[in-house]
């Protein structure tokens, strides 16, 4: 049992207590530890910047788009209580584009080459698709500029991202 003297049992996993001492020492220096970074990423995933759904009954199993601080989640409704979920980090997105009609629009997210492209989201309300496209393009542009989102109040910065997305659209696009 001498082997377990320096180990603490956590379920069936043994955790070395010396790791906790090292982690606390790095906290004292003022640098962010990996644990701090992980907690910030987790916190950012709960801060939803924008959410929209496709319109029922035009889409019998509505799709959903969720934009948060770290990524975009696209959930395609397949059948009752069945969805296909795709998470897309901003670093992999080239741009978002929309095709608009009188009432509805389709949002397409283009990924880098050699990455499977997500299915477009159809039958979004026109205003929702335009706003989502602008926010996504603004976040992608800001990410390419090296802006650290963890330093921003993302709820307040969403309007700025939308404005950046408005300014960075292709001249052939409307909206």
* Per-residue pLDDT, 34: 77
Contact (Cβ atoms closer than 8 angstroms) between residue 161 and residue 138 = yes
Spans of all domains in the chain: 39-167
Q: Residue 98: its pLDDT value, please?
A: 94
Task: Specify the CATH number of the domain 39-167.
Answer: 2.30.29.30
Q: What pLDDT does 40 receive?
A: 67
d(CA 55, CA 107): 13
Is the pTM value of this prediction over 0.85?
no
The pLDDT value given to residue 13: 47
Query: In terms of DSSP bridges, do strands 93-100 and 82-89 run parallel, antiparallel, or are they unpaired?
Result: unpaired
Strand 121-125 relative to strand 104-111, pairing: antiparallel
Identify the pLDDT of residue 42: 66
Helix ranges restricted to H, 48-153: 126-144
Across the 175 residues of the chain, what is the mean pLDDT of every consecutive 10-residue run? 48 47 50 72 71 89 90 89 87 92 94 84 94 92 82 78 74 45
């Amino acid at each position: 049992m001498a082997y377990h003297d320096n180990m603490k049992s956590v379920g069936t996993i043994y955790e070395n207590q010396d790791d906790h001492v090292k982690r606390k020492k790095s906290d004292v220096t003022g640098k962010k530890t990996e644990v701090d970074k992980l907690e910030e990423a987790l916190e950012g995933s709960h801060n939803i910047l924008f959410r929209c759904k496709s319109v029922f009954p035009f889409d019998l199993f509505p799709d959903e788009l969720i934009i948060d601080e770290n990524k975009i989640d696209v959930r395609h409704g397949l059948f009752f209580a069945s969805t296909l979920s795709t998470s897309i980090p901003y670093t992999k997105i080239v741009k978002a584009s929309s095709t608009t009609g009188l009432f509805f629009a389709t949002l397409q997210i283009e990924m880098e080459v050699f990455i499977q492209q997500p299915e477009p989201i159809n039958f979004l309300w026109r205003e929702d698709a335009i706003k989502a496209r602008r926010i996504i393009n603004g976040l992608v542009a800001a990410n390419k500029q090296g802006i650290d989102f963890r330093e921003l109040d993302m709820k307040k910065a969403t309007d700025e991202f939308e404005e950046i997305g408005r300014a960075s659209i292709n001249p052939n696009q409307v909206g």
